[in-house]
Structure formats: structure tokens, C-alpha cells
Chains A and B, each alone.
Chain A
Amino acid sequence: MKLWHKILLTSLLLYALAFHAASVYFLSTTHLANLEQETARAFSDQAIIRERVEAGVQVSGMPADPELLMQRYAAYYRYLNIELDLYRISTNTLYGQLDPATLEPDLLTFPSSNFQDMSSDRLVQKAAVSRLEESGQTVRRMHVSSPLRGEPDYLLLYTRDITDLYERRTDMIKAFIMIDLLTAILLGFTAYFIARRLTRPLESLGQAAGQVADGHYSNVVPESKDETAELVKAFNRMSGAVMEREMDLERLASQRQQFIDNLTHEMNTPLTSIQGYATLLRQARLNETQKSDAAAVIESEARRLRGLYDSLMTLMLARKADLKLEPLPLESFFREITKTMMISLRENGIELKTEHHQLFVQADKSLLMLLITNLVRNSMTASETGSIITIRAERLSDEKTEITITDQGCGLTPDQLERIFEPFYRVDRSRSRQTGGTGLGLALCREIALRHGGTLTAESTPGKGTTMRLLLPA
């Protein structure tokens, strides 16, 4: 059962209970009050009439035929819609037009002890309502009886038609049913619209959730201003987060795929060479120079594979190895770097300057060494003889220390700058082949920076030089 069904049914049910209880109560109290009023009037009417009859009887005495007495009075009162009858208890005879069978027996029974009170003024009256089917219509009458003073064997029966009263009740019930129906229909419609309105955000949330499950994250559920707003907001945030996460995963997967594709290519090329030249050596008729060239290619291609293997291993180690973070004095660290690179620096005629400012950084010494020597070596490749490479350390804030490596080399175009951190990307393909570069150096450097909780970025102006910026948390 849907929520709006529940809201609709519950409100209708509640309404029905309340309305019917109220109307039953109202109708019955009104009716009872009317009846009471009617009874009171009948009592007083009957008392007045009876006094008249009693007075008549006192003057002329009880006639031999009481029927005559009644006819005298009844004819007059019939004009007032009142019917009078006389009942003789001892003979059980009714003088008048009523059928005693339709009357309640209690109405005609007055215990003899009551007769004693007849002398007093207190009236003893009994009332009852009779119901008669007359030519298809229900006729209701109010009867009041009491014994005649002085003639206790005779009861004066007063009867008046009160069908009106009951008809009024029936009309009222009909009216109530009409109101009931109309209100129920009106309420039903209103409740339907309100319930639909209330549950619409839920419905659209449900649809949106279904779409999220199918992988469409872009549909944003419109926010309303009621209590569902929070839910909708949370939902939209959730689907946004899921989308972002999935995009991250996709990006990661495609990066991995790219890496594997490149690696396959990087491995396939030297393998093709090695296999091809080995086959040639074995099968072809080659002269001595050709043979020696083939062997040289095999050797250098094998070395290239070895370089690739070493780079991959280092990358893997940088990713997996436990970091041994220790406070590292940059003064001695930079001195060590200069010493390590001395020979190749001198060979290329390049000067390395360092500025340490007595700073310390929290780092894994061997990994940081790998990072910086890699960057310096890159700078060297880009630089010409006589130029200067500068390593500079600077404390940016209490939490951050920056190490920059700046060269005066050929620089990078914006295009190259964008791609240099991609694994296997090489600025100068043919040249890096000669120097045995695998294109993994900067990917490794960035990995090491990330492992330290830092970042590595590059800035460059073509023709002016490149600056690599390593930001480390101090």
C-alpha cells in the first residue's frame, strides 16, 4: 500500500468516524428534546382537558353511556387535532375511536392504590408513543392517560399525531447523509491532492534513486521547501558523490590501462629488435661489420629493457616501501647530492648551486635523494655547457618547506609541460633513447613527493629554463 493511499484512507476514515458520531449524537439529542417537549405539552393539554371533563362530570354526573360524554368533548377537540377517548378499567371497554390493541398495556393500567391519591391534586399521568401502519405510511401518536378524578374507573386518553416529529427526524437524517456524502467527496479529493503533493518528492526521489542505480547521476531532484528538502539535498549530494567517485575510479582505471599499453609498447620494441637481430645472426649471411652491429643492437636493447625493469622496480619500491621519515639537515644533504653528481656535472660543464638556509625537512633520505638527483639529471639534459642549475630551499610557513630546482635550459612548451608527469612520456624521444631514459623519472619523482605528503609541480618558459617545485610538509 502506498503512502498516499494510507494518508487518504486514514483521513477519510477519521472523518467518517468523527462526523457520524457527531451527527448521531446531535440527531438523537435533538429528537429526544423534541419528544420531551411534545410529551410535556401533551401532559399539560391532557390535564387541562381532563379538568374540563371532570368539571362537566361533577355538574351533570356520569352519564349512563360514557360514549355520549366523549362525543361531546371529542368533536370539539378534533378541530385542534386532538383525539379524546374514555376507557373503563373494570369492563375493559374503550369509548372512542382508538383500538386498545395498539396501545401499550401499561398506559391503561393504574394500580388501585393510586386511586387513594386521586383526592389530592397530584396528577398521575402516563405517556406513550404508538406506531401504526396506515395505508403505507407510518403514523406515530402520542398518548397520555390518567384516571378521572372522582371516577377512578375511567381513564381519559389523550392522543395527538406526532408523525411530524419523526418526519422531521427522517428529513434531518437525509440531509445529514447528503452533507456526509458531499463532504466525503470533497475531503477525498482534497486529501488525494494533498497526499500526492506530500509524497511527490518521495516519488521523484525513488525514480532518481533508480536512475542512480542504472548509472545516471546527472539528474538532480528539484528541492521543495518542506521537510523533504533536507532529504532531497542529502540525496543530491549523495548521487553527486557517487558520480565523482565513479569518475575517479574510471580515471584511475584508464590511467592504469594507459600505463599498461605504454609498458607493452616499451617492452615490445626492444624485444622485437633483440629477437630479430638474434634470428638474423643465426640465419642470415652477414659480413663481420653487420654481425658486430647486430650484437651491439642486441646489447643496447637488452640494456634498455634492464633500465625499464630498474625504473619499474624503483617505482614499485617508492610506492610500497615503508617511509623512514627523519629530520634531514639540508646543508649536508645538498653537499652529498653535489658530490654524487660531481662527475656528470663536470662532464657536461654545468655548475650546481645550492641554498639550504640551515633548514631541516622531514623526509626519507634515500627517496628524497632519488627525487632530487632525478630532477637535477633532467635539468642537465636540458641545459647547455656553462649554464647553472640551482637547488634552493625555503621555509614558506611553519608547516611547509619548498625545494626548487631551477635550470637555464631549453625549457618546455605548454604542451610538453602538461604531459611531463605522464609515465613513459619523453620530451625528446630519440635523445632519451640514446641516454637510456625510460620516461618514468618524473612519474617516480611525483610518487615520492606524494608519499611524503607533498606535491611536485613544474613551471617553464621555452628558451629560458624550467623550475621544478617540491613542496614538503615540514
Chain B
Amino acid sequence: MAKILIVEDEKSIADLIELNLSLTGHTCQWAPLAEDALKQTEDWQPDLILLDVMLPGRDGFELISELNRFDIPVIFLTARQSVVDKVQGLRLGAEDYITKPFEPAELLARIEVVLRRAGKSSGKLQICGVEINLMERSVSRRGQPVELTAQEYNLMEALVRNRNIALSREKLLETAWGFDFAGETRTVDIHIQRLRRKLDWENCLKTVYKYGYRLESDG
């Protein structure tokens, strides 16, 4: 998975982001200041930089122009919510702009999109004995291809992208079926059953009581 540099002066928030990202298998480093960020970018060559705008000393808007020479995608992660800031951030060359507080699932999804756009994500995963190629949308188990319907595949992709994080039935419905699908959450349960059976995920795909489902994987 990807190497991500977190530039954030608040340790508790940096820890939070790191925890979230490590759950899906990303490796993280923390840079509390602009100077650290430049040095670590040079030494470590991360795949992606999460950049806070409000930094002591040089702020994120100043820093990004210096980071641009490394040709590494940058996502702003900031408490500033004004549209002006957002536009300025994107204009300076950021790939995306996420405001605090953020949803873990949303953060992961946006990171995934940016990584894929930058070609930094191979899209190949091995989870609970199942090989998944997100680029080809193909799934196989012990070398044998597994046939999934479009809905089943979308559901599986949502769970895989947010592995180790519980997703509510509503969230799954929204992600796999689309925003305007006003379906029953029962539909989700039925498709989950099918996924468990087809992929032999009885143990990995956990039901989270009164909430939804979580795909548990150490990979």
C-alpha cells in the first residue's frame, strides 16, 4: 500500500489520521512543521502528502509551492472551511481539499481516488484469501475466478477500501447502489450473505451490532 506523509502540527490529529490510514494498510510518517515536511519528502519519497493549512511559521499554502517540485500529489486537510480557501488550495496545485472534522471513510475514499489518478495504486489486493484487482474489477479465490454481480462487486469494493472500519448499512447502500437508491437496508444484508458464501468470508466479514458490517483483515 501507499506511503503517506502527514503534515500536521497537532499531534492528536496526526495520530488519528495515521491510525485510520494504517487500518487499511497505508504506511505513514508525521511531520509537525514545514521544515520537517520538506526534509521527509526528500528522504522518504512518499506517494501522497496530507497537508494542514494552519501550520506555525510557514503555512500550507506557502509550503505547497515548494512541495510541487517533488511531483507528489498533495491533499489539503484543514479546519478552514471557506470556499475562498478551498479554491485557493486547489489553484495552488492540490489534488483535493478535505475539511476537518472528517469521516474516516471519506478520507480513505479521497486518498484512494488521488492515488489511483496518480498511478500510485496498483489496485491489486490480497484479503482474507481472496485476490482482488480493483483496476480490472476482477476477483479470484485460490487462482479460481469468482463471478460477482455488479452490485456484489460494488459492495465488496466498499468493504475492501474501508477494511477494518465498520460501515453502516446506509453508507453501504449509498456507496454500492448510489445516492438516490432508496432501497431497503435488508437488500444490503442479503448481498452480504451472498458475498460471505461466494468468497468464503464467513469469518472476515463481521456484523457490527446495530450498525452495519466490517471487513477485518490484517493485510
Contact = CB atoms under 8 A, between A and B. Distances in A.
A269 interface: yes
Given A276-B102, A285-B216, A301-B12, A264 B166 contact: no
B203 to A, nearest CB: 13
Indicate the member of A273, A300, A430 with the most B CB atoms within 10 Å.
A273
Contacts of B15: 293, 297
Interface residues of B, number: 27
A273 B79 contact: no
B178 interface: no
A273 B13 contact: yes
Nearest to B24: A284
B42 interface: no
Interface string B201-218: 000000010010010100
B165 A284 contact: yes
B20 interface: yes
Most chain B beta-carbon contacts within 10 A, residue among A284, A293, A297, A300: A284
Interface in A285-300: 285-286, 290, 293-294, 297, 300
A282 interface: yes
B16 A284 contact: no
Contact of A429 (B9, B79, B103, B216): B9
B101 interface: yes
A259 to B, nearest CB: 15
A280 B9 contact: no
Nearest to B103: A279
A290 B103 CA distance: 18
A272 B13 CA distance: 7
Contacts of A433: 10-11
Interface string A266-284: 0011111101110110111
Interface string B63-77: 000000000000000
Contacts of A272: 13, 16, 79, 100-102
A275 B56 CA distance: 24
A283 B165 contact: yes
Interface in B91-110: 100-104
Nearest to A283: B166
B13 A280 contact: no
Interface string B172-202: 0000000000000000000000000000000
Given A264-B79, A265-B54, A285 B214 contact: yes
A279 B79 contact: no
Nearest to A274: B101
B164 interface: yes
A285 B164 CA distance: 5
5 contacts: A265-B79, A269-B12, A272-B79, A284-B20, A433-B10
Interface of A: 264-265, 268-273, 275-277, 279-280, 282-286, 290, 293-294, 297, 300-301, 429-430, 433
Given A269-B79, A282-B166, 12 more contacts: A270-B12, A272-B13, A272-B101, A273-B16, A280-B104, A283-B104, A283-B166, A283-B167, A284-B166, A285-B164, A300-B12, A301-B12
Interface of B: 9-13, 15-16, 19-20, 23, 32, 54, 56, 79, 100-104, 164-167, 208, 211, 214, 216
